């Protein structure tokens, strides 16, 4: 089988390419050039591209660099900035997967005559009753099914995830066995287009004027202080939030950039029981979820899934089985099966209530 492997320059995708080659496939590596600006973290640095190229040389496979900088700016960076300016909290890595890695790359692979695309994500694709399902990776600490939750079944049918059955220790052992330079390379956890040495605030201030806002106690209406950038405040956030007059911790419950107002409250005051979903972003796998479907909901990459009921009454929303900390608008929720919490059912972006 002719396989195009997306090689980020990290150990996971390096091993994915090596294992597929050992399995007898015709393997070609491709690294995506996404960000044209400064980068000292993530998967877009010059060093990462060089690591991917040298791994390909070690394996004896062809390696290409595909330039998607314009598309990355349009589908990932611009919405990231716009979302913050509107007071939401977008997830750029999920948008990159949705629009670049699993749309544009798959389209290109098909045009070039590849039978499959492979990545180094810690997740698995299983075929059950004739359907391709996205399943959690074997390593619970590294599972990445959350960031792949938007994949359609036709995409899953073309996707290979060669390391999904391995834990991280086993992946590094395989890389060392294969003689790959990335075997001990640290994992990247940062957003690739934001320099770790400068941070999100510097990046946003280079592109927009940020808004000073009052921090207001949601119960008493008292102003507790101000923030120099309402756009950097996230619903559910505690870090950096001043305590109330009673000395108790406060959490962000609402961000209104236009009104220059950030509302905060005690944790028990800001808990939610429903989550509104953006219908345009809703994506199901082969399963047809409908009003009343029981699901497990995960709202962050390594968060704990909680029980909920999917509702539709002209809009899509989730009814949570127990009160929960609020989920910021712009974030993604991924839905898993209740009877088999390893299987992804779908995903959606949280909208404002």
The answer to whether residues 73 and 92 touch, using CB atoms and an 8 Å cutoff, is: no
Write out the two tokens for 324: 């929960």
192 is catalytic: yes
Closest CA to 51 of 104, 3, 12, 105: 12
Instruction: State how far the Cα of 326 lies from the Cα of 320, in Å rounded to an integer.
Output: 11
Instruction: State how far the Cα of 185 lies from the Cα of 12, in Å rounded to an integer.
Output: 10
Q: Read off the pLDDT of residues 245-264 as tens digits, 9 standing for 90 and up.
A: 888 899 999 999 999 999 99
Q: Read off the pLDDT of residues 172-194 as tens digits, 9 standing for 90 and up.
A: 999 999 999 999 888 876 788 88
pLDDT band at 243 (very low <50, low <70, confident <90, very high): confident
Residues contacting residue 28 through CB under 8 Å, at least 6 positions apart: 2, 3, 4, 5, 61, 62, 63, 64, 114
Q: Read off the pLDDT of residues 56-74 as tens digits, 9 standing for 90 and up.
A: 999 999 999 999 999 999 9
pTM over 0.85: yes
CA distances from 34 to 64, 146, 225, 227 (A): 14, 21, 39, 32
Give the model's pLDDT for residue 41.
Answer: 58
pLDDT band at 44 (very low <50, low <70, confident <90, very high): low
Give the mean pLDDT of 137-159.
95
Of 16-30, 59-73, 104-118, 283-297, the range with the lowest mean pLDDT is 283-297
All domains of the chain in start order, with CATH: 2-120+162-177 (3.40.50.620), 210-270 (no CATH), 272-349 (2.40.30.10)
Residue 255 has phi, psi (to 5 degrees) of -120, 120
The answer to whether residues 39 and 195 touch, using CB atoms and an 8 Å cutoff, is: yes
The single residue listed with the structure tokens 């959350």 is 146
Give the mean pLDDT of 264-279.
95
The answer to whether residues 89 and 331 touch, using CB atoms and an 8 Å cutoff, is: yes
Q: 43, 44, 93, 96: which is the annotated catalytic residue?
A: 96
Write out the two tokens for 320: 């949570």
Write out the two tokens for 2: 């002719």
Q: 43, 44, 93, 192: which is the annotated catalytic residue?
A: 192
pLDDT of 268 strictly over 60: yes
pLDDT of 38 strictly over 70: no
Mean pLDDT score across all residues of the chain:
93
- Tell me the DSSP string of 105-120: HHHHHHHTT-SEEE--
Instruction: State how far the Cα of 97 lies from the Cα of 238, in Å rounded to an integer.
Output: 29
Residues contacting residue 324 through CB under 8 Å, at least 6 positions apart: 271, 272, 273, 306
């Amino acid at each position: 089988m002719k396989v195009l492997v997306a090689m980020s320059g990290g150990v996971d995708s390096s091993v994915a390419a090596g294992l597929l080659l050992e399995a007898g496939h015709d393997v070609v590596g491709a690294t995506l050039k996404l960000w044209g600006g400064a980068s000292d973290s993530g998967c877009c640095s010059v060093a990462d591209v060089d690591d991917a190229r040298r791994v390909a040389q070690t394996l004896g496979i062809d390696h290409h660099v595909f330039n998607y900088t314009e598309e990355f700016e349009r589908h990932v960076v611009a919405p990231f900035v716009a979302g913050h300016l509107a007071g939401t909290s977008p997830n750029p890595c999920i948008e990159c997967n949705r629009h670049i890695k699993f749309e544009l790359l798959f389209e290109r692979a098909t045009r070039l005559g590849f039978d499959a695309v492979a990545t180094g994500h810690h997740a698995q694709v299983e075929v059950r009753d004739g359907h391709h399902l996205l399943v959690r990776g074997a390593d619970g600490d590294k599972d990445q099914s959350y960031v792949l939750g938007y994949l359609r079944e036709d995409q899953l049918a073309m996707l290979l995830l060669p390391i999904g059955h391995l834990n991280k220790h086993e992946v590094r052992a395989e890389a060392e066995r294969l003689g790959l330079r990335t075997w001990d390379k640290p994992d990247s956890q940062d957003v690739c287009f934001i320099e770790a040495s400068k941070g999100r605030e510097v990046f946003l201030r280079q592109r927009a004027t940020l808004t000073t806002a009052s921090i207001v106690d949601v119960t008493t209406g008292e102003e507790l202080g101000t923030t120099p950038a309402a756009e950097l405040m996230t619903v559910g956030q505690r870090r950096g939030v001043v305590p109330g007059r009673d000395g108790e911790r406060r959490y962000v419950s609402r961000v209104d950039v236009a009104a220059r107002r950030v509302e905060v409250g005690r944790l028990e005051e800001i808990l939610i029981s429903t989550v509104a979903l953006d219908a345009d972003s809703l994506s199901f796998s082969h399963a047809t979820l409908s009003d009343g479907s029981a699901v497990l909901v995960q709202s962050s990459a390594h968060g704990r899934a909680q029980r909920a009921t999917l509702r539709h009454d002209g809009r899509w929303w989730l009814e949570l089985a127990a009160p929960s900390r609020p989920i910021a608008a712009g974030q993604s929720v991924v839905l898993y099966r209740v009877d088999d919490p390893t299987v992804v059912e779908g995903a959606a972006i949280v909208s404002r209530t």
